[in-house]
Chain A
């Protein structure tokens, strides 16, 4: 158990819809990262938040947005969903915003868009 909690674990929805994925980082971790993993692919970095502020942005679509709340949990909002958005979405956390330390990953949210 990494200490990172993601909900929901599974989500099935239709094209055009909007969903919200939630992540609770490990206790005390200030940074939250979101990654997307499509079938049999590596992880694609989407966005990083550090202590409530956006720190880095990767290949995140304009239809996607995220935020980190004062209690440090984070939400990833996916809107106008397309079939290609079907993927595993992972959240990770770390104590700080950089350095060489490790990331702690949640078990992911599997999104299926029909």
Chain B
């Protein structure tokens, strides 16, 4: 699986948008971009995933660069409950298993 690079931590103010970047320069054509988050003392939680086009769901938006070498998770209006570690992961859809290689993620700090 290709690797991803994320900043170690980011800070944002409550009720403001947050843009979490992820670089994946060695992404292959069959790699999906997945985002999970892990709130303190909880298991990881799926946020969103996409392949080429930008994606929106009730939790967030995923903006994927045209060359797919980077992506950005967008939280439109951060709340204190969004404080978590956010993981950007590549998942090869051609794999028959689902190992997922997890990096250290980005710790998002929300200031009230």
What is the interface of chain A, defined by CB distance below 8 A to chain B?
Answer: 2, 4, 31, 33, 35, 41-45, 48, 50, 55-56, 58, 90, 92, 94, 97-100, 102-108
Contacts and interface: CB of A to CB of B under 8 A. Distances in A.
A56 B93 contact: no
Contact of A55 (B49, B87, B96, B104): B96
Interface of B: 32, 34, 36, 42-46, 49, 51, 87, 91, 93, 95-105
B97 A97 contact: yes
A107 B42 CA distance: 5
A8 B104 CA distance: 26
A6 B105 CA distance: 24
5 contacts: A33-B98, A43-B100, A45-B100, A48-B99, A108-B43
A100 B43 contact: no
Q: Which 4 A-B pairs have the closest CB atoms?
A: A105-B43, A56-B97, A102-B46, A42-B102
B2 to A, nearest CB: 15
B34 A102 contact: yes
Given A33-B98, A48-B98, A98-B98, 10 more contacts: A35-B102, A56-B98, A92-B43, A92-B44, A99-B93, A99-B98, A100-B32, A103-B44, A103-B46, A108-B43
A100 B100 contact: no
A61 to B, nearest CB: 17
A99 B92 CA distance: 8
A102 to B, nearest CB: 4
Given A102-B46, A106-B43, A107-B42, A44 B102 contact: yes
B105 A42 contact: yes
B104 A41 contact: yes
A100 B93 contact: yes
Contacts of B43: 2, 4, 90, 92, 105-108
B98 A103 contact: yes
A105 B91 contact: no
A43 B102 contact: yes
